[in-house]
Structure 1
Amino acid sequence: MNRLISRLALALLACTAGAAAALDAVPRAVEVDRIVAVVNNEPITATQLRASLERAIRRLAQQGTELPPREALERQMLERLILERAQLQRARELGLQVDEGMLERAIGRVADNNRMTLEALRNALDKDGIPWRRFRDEIRTELLLQRLREREVDSRIVVTEAEVDNFIATNPDAFSGREYRLAHILLRAPEGASPAQLDALLARARQIQRRLEEGEDFAAVAASVSDAPDAMNGGELGWRSRDRLPAIFAEALETLRPGEVSPILRSAAGVHLVKLLEVRGGELGADSVQQTRVSHILIRTSEVLSDAEAESRLKGLRERIVLGNADFAELAKAHSADPSAAKGGELGWIYPGDTVPEFERAMNALAPGEISEPIRSPFGWHLIKVHERRQQDVSDERKRAMARAALRQRKAEDAFEDWIRQLRDSTYVEYRLDRS
């Protein structure tokens, strides 16, 4: 995203009462927006840095994170903007683009995930002082960076059957249902780092470790020093099952209790510190997962049927079902655009990960017998009905598929870190932040 529009700011002229009359006759001075860094041949301006920094500060404050010193946060944000600019330049070189249809669908998913209409989303953004155009630009950038990652990294990941065999043999509890919420700090090593550079990196990690031992807030330290993309979120990775974590993090969990920080960990990307925040689940056996038997009614949008109309239509159907005036299965047969309509919308028993995230989140929030409000997914609008749940042993074939997916994610994350490091090392950057 090229947000290179230079903004002009009126310079504040210090004046005395005696000079006021003279100043009235002199044109006011104008200061051109200062450049704080040049990435290859593109500038990053002080206005861009300041705007991004203020957003990060608001986000950290909303999370309740203790704010690090502003200067440290400013340098961290500048590094984020440099890395983003380098990726966008690479995307342009490859001819990658995000069309309007893709952008609108992504914005629709943001609204759905927040249980809002598009109009309500716009109103909420306006209340927070976020212009709609800037929001669209940021979503477009996220999509473009995701397309870049898919092309340069994810599409090249290969998982062998031997790796699947080894994963299942060495991770007997990988699919136990237990999930972990982690945060981490990464100090990235340069490509082909020398022993002296690695020693310096370890020395920095030990300093950070001492700060944490002395009681500094992990999230605040991560925001001020970590080189990971999630640094500005306090280094949080969110909830993940063990098999969805990088192998080095999964191994560290064996000795950690909630609230504890790992020793310094070494990887090809650099050095890490990991904090275990919370643990949940784990009541299932290693070979057992929860399945949900579910039905749905799908209404697809089109040129003649808008999102608002599709949502309104499903609300009407839901009201009829809840009031007892209609049967879910009969309405599915009459109205659903999904192939399951012939079976009354029945999808059968669903494993975790079988459906798109929007559908799965809504499904998991329902009690047996309950019907969702209309929810939107990439396929259209749904009403979801959960019939029952059960614990089911995982077949060997299913277990191998889950192991393959876990390995692919692990490999992709490691490969992405390596790719980012190479991209950053090959990017020319001129820093001007400290220049007066």
Structure 2
Amino acid sequence: MMHRNRFNQALAAMMLAGAALLSQFAFAQDSTKTSSDSKIRNIDGVAAVVNTGYVTRKEIDDRIAALQKQGTKLPDAATVRKTVLERLILEKIQVQNAELEGLAVSNKELDKIVGDIAAKNKLTIAELKVKIAATGSTYERYRELLRDDIVISRYREREVEGKIKISDAEIDNFIADRNREVAGAGKVARSTPAAKGEPEEIDVAQIFIPADASAGVGAQAEAKKKAESLLRDARGDVDFLQLGAMAAKDNPKIKFQDLGYRTPDRLPQLFYEAIRNIGSGQVANAVVKSPAGYHVLKVLDRRALMASASVPQQAAPQENAASTPQNIMVTQTLSRHILLRSRTGLTDQDAERRLAGFRDQIRSKTVDFGELAKKYSEDGSAANGGNLGWMGPGDLVPEFDQAMNRLQIGEVSNPVKTEFGWHLIQVLERREAQLTLEKQRQFARAAIRERKFEQAYQDWLRELRDTATVKIINADDPAASPR
């Protein structure tokens, strides 16, 4: 029941998109949907015709104004207008194609999502409407912008995921690489470094926390805070890609990938500057900020360019020594919980207050957690005192998993809300465990997919742009007057 599934991930992505939209709503652009009346407008106001729709110069102005208000460092006016126009064109194409594919969000579903966003921001619907009105816009406009954002997100996820192909050989190679790490006592065998002045290849991995340049100040600050937290964790004795996988489970928008061996000229300039003087196995000194968000970087290996051909032969003996697929290690947690299900007649405030009372009793040692779970938990685990058994990364829904991972052994959480209701959590024990063969293959597939996603996404955007009918009319001049 509490295990993660694709619907949960999609819902989490929608929630995050809606919360970000709320934080930047004061700068919201005009919706991609327009009435038939608004289409009969002076052609001077149109910057580009996109299939059967268009992008206005006013939309470009609004987007640039939002960036300026956030203090974003922008290039010259002509360059920024061209960049913003291309972004708006791509958004327009995605909305149009999604609608042609029949992707839609019903009013009932949208009501539920808006309600969840309001709750996440500790607002009632009435308070949310007041907050939106204070930006000078309307609640109806907010709903339409959110509807388009969700449709684009679902369309992108469906189309890009379908383009990612992962072979059994790739999975086998990934597992073999991880097994070689274990055979080397957790240390990756380093290649022969390049001599000073000789050409080299660098294997860089990244954890990417998206924060679009048009996002609000609050969303930008939250993304930066998350990136800096991951950077601190990455400096410890942890598997960098596993750290990225765990972060992505908490927030499906976070991406992690091994970029593979690249010569410096094939790395993004921002990345190369950050890791230029970093040795193998070391993390960049600071988070890297790009127009798309924040990047945590680690140099997995550096090797002489001419030595690359010999690496497979050097690695072969280790691979044979660790060929049994039993070596990918993960941290498992043994925990128990008390669940009060969401239901009519039990408000969030009542459930939270009730569990807080249980928490205080447990902490004062006047009552046993397991006895309370047997008596009050509304879950199948109640008979076992709320014991959930050993759980690994991704086995539980994100809110529960994140709260549980923050607890020390024996510690009891504050009340935690998930889609199932309200929980009180206690961690009993932790251990390092080997993944089963099936779990290893699932882990490997997910990691490889994350590596491939960004490239597939960029290829997909180029394909959309190339197949659309776009005519640039006048993007250089600002709009003559407000809409």
Query: Which category of TM-score, normalised to the shorter sequence, fits these structures?
Result: 0.5 to 0.7
The 1:182–1:408 alpha-carbon spacing in structure 2 relative to 1, beyond 3 Å, is closer
Q: 1:89 aligns with which of 71, 81, 96?
A: 96
Is there any run of 5+ residues in structure 1 with no aligned partner, and where? 9-29, 186-218, 225-229, 263-272
Aligned-residue sequence identity (percent) comes to 35
Between the aligned partners of 2:425 and 2:123, the Cα distance in structure 1 is 19
- 1:49-90 deviations in Å (ceiling 9; x for gaps): 33333444455x4xxx64544553343232222111111111
Pairwise CA distance, 1:413:
4.0
1:249 equivalent in alignment to 2:259: yes
Residues 153-172 of structure 1 mapped to structure 2, 5 A cutoff: 153-155=160-162, 157-172=164-179
1:352 equivalent in alignment to 2:367: no
1:146 equivalent in alignment to 2:153: yes
Paired position in structure 2 for 1:78:
85
Aligned partners of 2:374 and 2:384 also within 8 Å: yes
Aligned partners of 1:125 and 1:131 also within 8 Å: no
Pairwise CA distance, 1:412:
4.2
The 1:274–1:381 alpha-carbon spacing in structure 2 relative to 1, beyond 3 Å, is closer
Between the aligned partners of 2:401 and 2:136, the Cα distance in structure 1 is 30
Residues 365-404 of structure 1 mapped to structure 2, 5 A cutoff: 365-404=406-445
Aligned partners of 2:258 and 2:451 also within 8 Å: no
The 1:144–1:223 alpha-carbon spacing in structure 2 relative to 1, beyond 3 Å, is closer
SS at match of 1:372: coil
Residues 225-236 of structure 1 mapped to structure 2, 5 A cutoff: none
Pairwise CA distance, 1:405:
1.8
Q: Write the letter of the residue equivalent to 2:153.
A: Q
1:2 equivalent in alignment to 2:32: yes
SS at match of 1:98: coil
SS at match of 1:367: coil
Paired position in structure 2 for 1:327:
368
The alignment's TM-score, normalised by the length of structure 2, stands at: 0.58
The alignment's TM-score, normalised by the length of structure 1, stands at: 0.63
1:50 equivalent in alignment to 2:61: yes
- 1:118-177 deviations in Å (ceiling 9; x for gaps): 579839955984857355444433322232134323256553433311221245578979
Q: Write the letter of the residue equivalent to 1:40.
A: N
Aligned partners of 1:258 and 1:276 also within 8 Å: no
Paired position in structure 1 for 2:475:
433
**Residues 314-323 or 361-370, more deviating:** 314-323
Aligned partners of 1:261 and 1:276 also within 8 Å: no
Aligned partners of 2:336 and 2:388 also within 8 Å: yes
Between the aligned partners of 1:278 and 1:154, the Cα distance in structure 2 is 24
Aligned partners of 2:206 and 2:257 also within 8 Å: no
Aligned partners of 1:288 and 1:393 also within 8 Å: yes
The 1:395–1:33 alpha-carbon spacing in structure 2 relative to 1, beyond 3 Å, is same
Q: Write the letter of the residue equivalent to 1:297.
A: I
Aligned partners of 1:296 and 1:382 also within 8 Å: yes
**Residues 239-248 or 340-349, more deviating:** 239-248
Q: Write the letter of the residue equivalent to 1:396.
A: L
- 1:292-327 deviations in Å (ceiling 9; x for gaps): 222223333245545444444434443443444543
1:421 equivalent in alignment to 2:447: no
SS at match of 2:275: coil
Between the aligned partners of 2:94 and 2:82, the Cα distance in structure 1 is 19
Q: Write the letter of the residue equivalent to 1:260.
A: I
**Residues 125-134 or 292-301, more deviating:** 125-134
Paired position in structure 2 for 1:122:
128
Pairwise CA distance, 1:410:
3.3
Q: Write the letter of the residue equivalent to 2:410.
A: G
The 1:314–1:91 alpha-carbon spacing in structure 2 relative to 1, beyond 3 Å, is farther
Q: Write the letter of the residue equivalent to 1:95.
A: G
The 1:392–1:105 alpha-carbon spacing in structure 2 relative to 1, beyond 3 Å, is farther
Is there any run of 5+ residues in structure 2 with no aligned partner, and where? 1-30, 189-203, 215-219, 235-239, 246-254, 278-291, 300-325, 479-483
The 1:430–1:373 alpha-carbon spacing in structure 2 relative to 1, beyond 3 Å, is farther
Q: Write the letter of the residue equivalent to 1:93.
A: L
Between the aligned partners of 2:87 and 2:382, the Cα distance in structure 1 is 47
Pairwise CA distance, 1:402:
0.7
Q: 1:300 aligns with which of 341, 348, 355?
A: 341
Between the aligned partners of 2:136 and 2:375, the Cα distance in structure 1 is 42
Aligned partners of 1:291 and 1:392 also within 8 Å: yes
Q: Write the letter of the residue equivalent to 2:476.
A: D
Task: Provide the alpha-carbon RMSD of the alignment.
Answer: 4.9
Between the aligned partners of 1:52 and 1:174, the Cα distance in structure 2 is 47
SS at match of 2:338: strand
Q: 2:404 aligns with which of 363, 366, 375?
A: 363
Q: Write the letter of the residue equivalent to 1:167.
A: F
SS at match of 1:80: helix
Between the aligned partners of 1:274 and 1:51, the Cα distance in structure 2 is 21
The 1:355–1:70 alpha-carbon spacing in structure 2 relative to 1, beyond 3 Å, is farther
Between the aligned partners of 1:325 and 1:429, the Cα distance in structure 2 is 70
